[in-house]
Amino acid sequence: MTKKSVFTGVFITLVAAMIYQWGHIDGLAGKPSVLISESIAADSPTKISPVKARARDFYAPNSEDLAPDEMRLIACGTGMPTARPKQAASCWLLELGNGDKFIFDVGTGSAERIAAMQIPYNYLDKVFLSHLHTDHFGDLDALFVGGALAGRQKPLRVWGPSGDTPERGTKYALEHLRKALTWDLDGRLGITDPRGYHFEVHEFDYKGINAVIYQENGVTIRSYPAIHALDGPVSFSLEWNGLKFVFGGDTYPNKWFDEHAKNADLAIHECFVTVPDMIAKFGFTPQGALSVATQVHTSPEAFGKVMSRIKPRMAVAYHFYNDFDTTAGILNGVRTTYDGPLSLAEDYMVWNITKDDIRVRMARIDEDVWPPVATEKPQVPDPSTRIPYSDMIAGGKLDVQDVIQPVYDEINKKYGLNEKQD
């Protein structure tokens, strides 16, 4: 390799990195100049203390109060159907200052992102599904079982659309998901608190236009049809305390979103990978890439046109791999049709929304996190409900009672119990 080719390669790499950084900064548009100036002011020599904390420019889960008039949105999945370590599939956690928390979609890989937020699972009991592709509800089983095990002592409430046939609706999907978990759930009988291992399904008509599907505690959630793959997908809007949040799910640009997403403080809409990247990176044929990236999904250019029409305070693009060599193409496409505030979403991005400001940061998470302590005391399981082993399996037990007995003795003494080994 010649010196000239080495230099050219280094130069191209540096330019690509700079473009990515510009795109990333553009993606954090919420008033970046204000954030930068605040950071400088906080670090100025006359104000720095050697012992007191300084203002953070990141979000640390479980470390900040949420004001009574504030929303906090956390991206728990922003990627594509094939989840990867950097990006899980679609999942958005919305927290309100009244204490309510809502999960919009729970796609493959997102359950661990939800866990990283350190929120007691009893508060995470409301899930809204935009449609039934696995990259939008593939981790529902993990949230359902894992959440119950970790302290959600009530049913998991799920709202989702009907289909054009009963078999394509949310109720059918969840009934059969629970059937698929028969062995899992039967194996927990009589061992753990049983109250959380139930679904409460609220299936609504996917054809409803701006129809109210949820109204509690001052929060109103509406749905309207989306256009994606088959009949059935929907988009959502949530209104509370004078603020409006919109989640498009997966959809081709459509008249319902165009009308009912207007006046949103924050609007999420899919923005798919560019056609050239679909061909080069996914190995699609040009015909397949054009179909998937511009007809089944929304292209960056079309995303920008949608946002230029509804004019949200903050537009959020998701459903693409946000990498150093793909972000520039997404950003350039969007900017051909939209010049407003924009976030190019990635996992763990956080938006704090008030009537006066939208602050955008990244969360810094603890990978060693354990589930938070339950908000209610667990119910003692009823041993009589346990399903016993067969004689053949029970007969295979190795006798280790002598080494386990000291554990029982210690726990019985500490907690005033009289538990005995099986």
In this structure, the dihedral spanned by the alpha carbons of residues 131, 132, 136 and 138, taken in order and rounded to 10 degrees, is 160
Q: What is the pLDDT of residue 48?
A: 83
**Could you tell me the strand order of the sheet in which 234-240 lies?**
211-216, 219-225, 234-240, 243-247, 266-270, 314-318, 342-344
pLDDT, averaged across the chain: 90
Q: What's the mean pLDDT in 304-318? A: 98
Report d(CA 267, CA 272) in Å as an integer. 16
Q: What is the pLDDT of residue 163?
A: 98
E-strand stretches of 179-333: 199-204, 211-216, 219-225, 234-240, 243-247, 266-270, 314-318
Q: Is residue 398 part of a domain?
A: no
Rounded percentage of the chain residues whose pLDDT exceeds 90:
83
Q: Is residue 376 part of a domain?
A: no
Q: What is the pLDDT of residue 166?
A: 98
Q: Is residue 7 part of a domain?
A: yes
Tokens of 343: 């976030």
Q: Is residue 380 part of a domain?
A: no
CB within 8 Å of 367: residues ≥ 6 apart: 116
CATH code of residue 34? 3.60.15.10
Q: Is residue 207 part of a domain?
A: yes
Q: What's the mean pLDDT in 119-138? A: 98
Q: What is the pLDDT of residue 27?
A: 42
Q: Is residue 412 part of a domain?
A: no
pTM above the 0.85 mark? yes
| Other C-beta atoms lying within 10 Å of the C-beta of residue 145 | 19
Q: What is the pLDDT of residue 45?
A: 55
65 with 101: CB under 8 angstroms? Answer: no
Q: Is residue 323 part of a domain?
A: yes
Residue 404: is it exposed, middle or buried by C-beta count within 10 angstroms (0-12/13-18/19+)?
exposed
Q: Is residue 400 part of a domain?
A: no
Q: For 37-96, write each residue's pLDDT tens digit.
A: 233 344 455 678 889 888 889 999 999 999 999 999 999 999 999 999 999 999 999 999
Give residue 198's domain range: 3-42+52-362
Report d(CA 272, CA 321) in Å as an integer. 9
Q: Evaluate if residue 5 carries a pLDDT over 90.
A: no
- Quick one: how far is CA 135 from the chain centroid? 11
Helix (H, G, I), strand (E, B) or coil at 405: helix
- Lookup result for tokens 């997404």: 330
Helix (H) or strand (E) holding 161: strand 156-161
Report d(CA 18, CA 41) in Å as an integer. 26
| Number of folded domains that form the chain | 1
Report d(CA 228, CA 131) in Å as an integer. 9
Tokens of 170: 């949310």
Q: How confident is the model at residue 9 (pLDDT cuts 50, 70, 90)?
A: very low
Degrees to nearest 5, angle at CA 378 with 374 and 383:
150
